[in-house]
Amino acid sequence: MQKYSIFSLVKNALTGHQNWDLAWKDPNPKEEYDVVIIGGGGHGLATAYYLAKEHQITKVAIIEKGWIGGGNVGRNTTIIRSNYMHDENGLFSEFGMDLWRKMSQDLNYNVMFSPRGIINLAHSDAQMNAYARRGNSMRLNGIDAVLLNREEVKELIPMADFSDNVRFPIFGGLMQPSAGTARHDAVAWGYARQADSMGVDIIQNCEVTGFDVSAGKIKGIRTSRGNIKAKKVGLCVAGSTNILAEKLNMTLPIETHLLQACVSEPVKPVLDKVVTFGAGHFYISQSDKGEMVMGGDLDGYNSYAQRGNLPTLQHVLSEGIAMMPFLSKLKMLRTWGGIMDMSMDGSPIIDKTHIDGLYLNCGWCYGGFKATPASGWTFAHTIAQDRVHELNAGYSLNRFSTGHLIDEKGLGTKTWIS
């Protein structure tokens, strides 16, 4: 594989950029693989990469119905954080933060990781107390957390509404300084390029139509491009998990919902933090191009349409304007939607299944992008070793029957709970 560096850039600039290698190949599916990963999104690509890198399993195929980077990895709001209270989420995400910090070097691909900090705003004394508790829990797990008072928040984000007559005055906030954003497409492309270079077949435009299971063991998959034998199969298809589960006669604690995001026209640098509104569900950051990147609630009803509806967008943006009134002057550039696996407790599932050799990675709700490296790393471990790693032990499928829910915010499919 051609290494990207200042020298390769200069060399290719001098030859008119005609001689760059393809970042990844476009192979036809082989007859058999050791591991087949279904879903070529961020998590699937990362899983294949860590299977090859950490476990030396390279006879791997990624089966993608569409194209690399066309699903949720290209549709999110690029926020990376580990500001969780519960141990399962905190330790898992903080492990991921380490992988994020090293990612550009590791992948030889600039993912533009920008640890600019995230501030969760508080709008009442009770919320300040809750944030103090969450911040302390985070620090006990080695995650950086700073409780800010009103004046400190004002210093960092003076464009927020600090006037006297607001419905939700800003009392303060909880900041994780090491949180931030990254270029989402680069994450997908970086993982794809490295996985491909280690021998992983990335097979695009290939839809999975069925599974071959006999005597409780997975034997292979059926696809629109023929049958593929596989010793192990990993499901990594956020948004379509229910569809594939149905083909396996499994019913999961997941509903498929639609989440929208939008960007404004680009403006000069005004906001150098990720900020979330504490009296509703709204978050905002500014991209390197100057666009304000915003998102919030689910549309609220089961949906497989990758496009949103205006009432939710209006609701979310009115929260944004309540928090930062200058947003009302901006024109909207683009809005789009992605479909999410909403699990019933708002936390993901990375686990084995009752079918031998079939592994499940799903239920990422609002937080799939930031989990990409940690999810890939632990899922690769779970598949390669045929047992869960301690980092994803809490993300079990049977926690719903045993009562070990991870109700970080109590926010799963039911948006009205917030």
Asked if residue 305 binds other proteins (CB under 8 A), the reply is yes
- 66, 311, 386, 418: which one binds other proteins (CB under 8 A): 311
Distance, CA of 418 to CA of 412 (rounded, Å): 10
Closer CB to other proteins, 174 or 258, in the complex:
258
Closer CB to other proteins, 330 or 342, in the complex:
342
Asked if residue 353 binds other proteins (CB under 8 A), the reply is no
- 254, 261, 316, 362: which one binds other proteins (CB under 8 A): 254
- Least separation in angstroms between CB 335 and other proteins: 14
- Least separation in angstroms between CB 337 and other proteins: 11
Distance, CA of 402 to CA of 307 (rounded, Å): 36
Asked if residue 255 binds other proteins (CB under 8 A), the reply is yes
| Contacting range for other proteins; rule: CB under 8 A; set: 180-188, 200-208, 251-259, 319-327 | 251-259
- Least separation in angstroms between CB 309 and other proteins: 6
Closer CB to other proteins, 171 or 366, in the complex:
366
How many residues line the site for other proteins (CB under 8 A)?
23
Closer CB to other proteins, 194 or 241, in the complex:
241
Long-range contacts, stretch 126-135, CB < 8 angstroms, 24+ apart: 127/171, 127/278, 128/171, 128/172, 131/172, 131/173, 131/174, 132/174, 133/85, 134/83, 134/84, 134/85, 134/174, 135/174
| Contacting range for other proteins; rule: CB under 8 A; set: 60-68, 95-103, 242-250, 356-364 | 242-250
Distance, CA of 362 to CA of 48 (rounded, Å): 16
Count CA within 13 A, CB hemisphere, residue 134: 22
Residues ≥6 apart with Cβ < 8 Å to 275: 118, 119, 121, 157, 160, 283, 284, 285, 323, 324
Helices (H), 15-86: 42-55
Distance, CA of 191 to CA of 61 (rounded, Å): 14
Asked if residue 400 binds other proteins (CB under 8 A), the reply is yes
Residues that bind other proteins (CB under 8 A): 242-243, 246, 251-256, 300-305, 309-311, 344, 400-401, 413, 416
